[in-house]
Amino acid sequence: MKIENDRIVAFHYTLAEVDGEEIESSDGAEPMLYMHGKQQLLEALQERLTGHESGDQVVVDVPPERAYGLRRENSEFRVPLKHVISGASAGKKKASASKLVPGQVIRVNTPDGERDATVIKAGKFNVDIDTNHPLAGKHLRFTVNIADVRQATEDELAHGHPHGPGGHQH
């Protein structure tokens, strides 16, 4: 079955910088699931997967403009530690400087709500952060191995996302 809108796609991937080191990989884990055509992947990646089928390997190079954007200048800030939230899930707690390390992605309270930021340096009362996406400005290469393609169930179509292993559980 070919990948097209409203199909559920199971895949493994390796993400690297073009001509660079591996950033992450799903090898050794359950395949990732997404519903094609529902903006659950980068648009450039989804476009290249269209028409492929189970067993295909697709290598997709995505420039920064079509991935996570160019790095924005003036996106580094010093914020009081009290605005940093450690843990993006249940039981959100205020961060302590001793637990923050450079390169760590954290959540920060802003006047516009919570947002992600990367720790540059942590002090006793403040933390220096970069609000660019960690992959901003990078030319990325996705190597995708398509494990399975199937029609979405009525329930998945109604919810707009996959259910089951590797997908959303209700």
We find that the CATH architecture of domain 7-68+136-159 is Roll (3.10)
Q: Are 84 and 105 in contact (CB under 8 A)?
A: no
Q: Are 149 and 58 in contact (CB under 8 A)?
A: no
Q: What is the pLDDT of residue 89?
A: 40
Residue 103 CA to residue 137 CA, distance in Å, equals 16
Q: Are 131 and 77 in contact (CB under 8 A)?
A: yes
Helix (H, G, I), strand (E, B) or coil at 1: coil
Burial class of residue 73 in the structure, from the number of CB atoms within 10 Å of its CB (0-12 exposed, 13-18 middle, 19+ buried)? exposed
Q: What is the pLDDT of residue 113?
A: 85
Beta strands in 18-165 (DSSP E): 22-25, 32-35, 57-62, 76-80, 84-86, 93-94, 105-110, 113-122, 126-130, 140-151
Q: What is the pLDDT of residues 48-83, one digit of tens each?
A: 999 999 999 999 999 999 999 999 999 999 999 999
CATH 3.10.50.40 domain range(s) in the chain? 7-68+136-159
Token readout for 144 is: 């995708």
This prediction's pTM = 0.80
